[in-house]
């Protein structure tokens, strides 16, 4: 089991406390820390059976942290959980049970966000890869049974180790907010002929810790969402796939539509003042600009994608931190 983290020692402590309460105990827990300080290392010292590994690449390298974590792991199934995801006691047991379905190569679970009605939202569109090249989420939904999916939520996912090796391990084309690094694993599993399933009984409570930079769903988030999605498509299905072209087509329509949507502020009764209308117009233009610049940046990066996980040394210490560590 891999817990990747950056500057969230208190979240790591709570995450590990929940992992201690699993009805099926993890055979191995590895925390991979990209923080610039020692606070997370000190937290891991409180758990003698938990291994500590460093990622000196720093913020924005979540996929590389996962790649460091899987080095030397021999267990059949590798589970990934975010530091701000707190597992219910049956979480690991339910993830593992889903592998009893023939052909399953990867299993994702449910993440409760505490939003009203989230358990019944979009039950038929959980983790889908659409014909227009876009992805659906809805990973808080509970269809009441395990269902097929195309991708998983990184906060709560797992993969067979032999399946992961079959497509070259974890890839890291995803800087910034690291969006799409989780979908990369699932889409590659699907492309190598394995099933990906969503097991809603494998539940974590996702408390959504602060980002290393910026805020969730701000303009930076939009930029990297557009950029990294292009890289996901280019490096998994390829630029010649119809879904790649379809995505570019939908972006060409969606970006100006986002800009035009800001103009609705002119007639919006909820924005009575001129300043509020100007903010509404400016917001639409800024969102469209972030999408446009992100898409262009993604296309440029797709010409020669750089996989940062390939620069990781081939081995790392596989032991818990010692009191004698520097």
Same domain for 129 and 277: no
The arithmetic mean of pLDDT across residues 216-232, rounded, is: 91
Percent of the chain with pLDDT over 70: 87
List Cα–Cα distances, 165 to 54, 76, 191, 192, 267, in angstroms: 22, 11, 13, 11, 56
DSSP 119: G
Same domain for 116 and 132: yes
Same domain for 199 and 64: yes
Same domain for 133 and 181: yes
pLDDT reported for residue 266 = 60
pLDDT reported for residue 283 = 74
- The residue with greater pLDDT, 210 or 164, is 164
Q: Which H/E stretch holds residue 224? A: helix 219-236
The arithmetic mean of pLDDT across residues 196-219, rounded, is: 82
Q: 311 lies in a domain?
A: no
- CATH code, 7: 3.90.550.10
Give the total number of structural domains in the chain: 2
pLDDT reported for residue 321 = 44
Same domain for 110 and 192: yes
pLDDT reported for residue 284 = 73
Same domain for 185 and 79: yes
pTM metric for this prediction:
0.89
Q: 321 lies in a domain?
A: no
Query: CA 270, CA 171: separation in Å to the nearest integer?
Result: 46
The range of the structural domain enclosing residue 293 comes to 219-303
Same domain for 285 and 197: no
The arithmetic mean of pLDDT across residues 26-46, rounded, is: 97
pLDDT reported for residue 258 = 80
- Where does the pLDDT of residue 209 fall: very low under 50, low under 70, confident under 90, or very high at 90 and above? low
DSSP 210: P
Average pLDDT, the chain: 91
- The residue with greater pLDDT, 313 or 175, is 175
The arithmetic mean of pLDDT across residues 53-77, rounded, is: 96
- Where does the pLDDT of residue 324 fall: very low under 50, low under 70, confident under 90, or very high at 90 and above? very low
pLDDT digits (tens, 9 = 90+) for 66-91: 999 999 999 999 999 999 999 999 99
pLDDT reported for residue 260 = 74
Query: CA 74, CA 88: separation in Å to the nearest integer?
Result: 25
pLDDT reported for residue 182 = 97
pLDDT reported for residue 22 = 98
The arithmetic mean of pLDDT across residues 17-43, rounded, is: 97
pLDDT reported for residue 215 = 58
pLDDT above 60 for 322: no
Q: 275 lies in a domain?
A: yes
Same domain for 224 and 135: no
Same domain for 178 and 60: yes
pLDDT above 50 for 48: yes
Q: 25 lies in a domain?
A: yes
pLDDT above 80 for 198: yes
pLDDT digits (tens, 9 = 90+) for 167-192: 999 999 999 999 999 999 999 999 99
Kindly report the three-state secondary structure assignment for every residue of 109-172: EEEECCCCCHHHCCCCCCCCECCCCCECCCCCCCCCCCEEECCCCCCEEEEEHHHHHHCCCCCC
pLDDT reported for residue 320 = 45
pLDDT digits (tens, 9 = 90+) for 116-154: 999 999 999 999 999 999 999 999 999 999 999 999 999
Q: 138 lies in a domain?
A: yes
The arithmetic mean of pLDDT across residues 159-171, rounded, is: 97
- Inter-residue contact 40 to 65 (CB < 8 Å): no
Residues 6+ apart with CB under 8 A from 296: none
pLDDT digits (tens, 9 = 90+) for 278-309: 666 667 788 889 999 999 999 999 999 999 99
For tokens 């690291």, what's the residue? 178
Same domain for 290 and 159: no
pLDDT reported for residue 272 = 66
């Amino acid at each position: 089991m891999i817990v990747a983290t950056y500057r969230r020692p208190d979240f790591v402590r709570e995450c590990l406390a929940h992992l201690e309460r699993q009805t099926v105990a993890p055979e191995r827990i590895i925390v991979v820390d990209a923080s610039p300080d020692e606070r997370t290392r000190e937290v891991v010292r409180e758990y003698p059976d938990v291994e500590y590994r460093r990622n000196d690449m720093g913020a924005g390298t979540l996929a590389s942290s996962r790649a460091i974590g899987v080095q030397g792991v021999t267990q059949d199934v590798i589970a990934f959980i975010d530091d701000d995801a707190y597992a219910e006691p049956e979480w690991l047991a339910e993830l593992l049970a889903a592998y009893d379905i023939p052909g399953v190569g990867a299993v994702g679970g449910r993440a409760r966000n505490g939003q009203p009605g989230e358990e019944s939202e979009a039950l038929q569109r959980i983790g889908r890869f659409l014909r227009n090249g876009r992805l659906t989420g809805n990973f808080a939904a509970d269809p009441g049974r395990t269902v097929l999916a195309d991708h998983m939520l990184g906060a709560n996912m797992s993969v067979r180790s032999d399946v992961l090796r079959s497509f070259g391990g974890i890839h890291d084309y995803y800087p910034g907010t690291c969006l799409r690094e989780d979908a990369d694993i699932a889409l590659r599993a699907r492309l190598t002929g394995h099933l990906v399933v969503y097991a809603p009984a494998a539940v974590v409570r996702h408390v959504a810790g602060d980002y290393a930079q910026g805020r969730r769903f701000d303009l930076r988030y939009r930029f990297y969402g557009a950029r990294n999605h292009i890289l996901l498509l280019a490096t998994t299905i390829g630029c010649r796939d119809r879904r790649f072209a379809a995505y570019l087509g939908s972006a060409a329509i969606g970006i100006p539509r986002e800009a035009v949507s800001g103009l609705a502020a002119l007639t919006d009764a909820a924005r009575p003042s001129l300043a509020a209308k100007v903010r509404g117009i400016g917001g639409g233009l800024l969102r469209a600009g972030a999408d446009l610049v992100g898409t262009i940046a993604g296309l440029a990066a797709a010409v020669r994608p750089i996989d940062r996980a390939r620069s990781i040394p081939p081995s790392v210490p596989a032991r818990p931190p010692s009191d004698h560590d520097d």
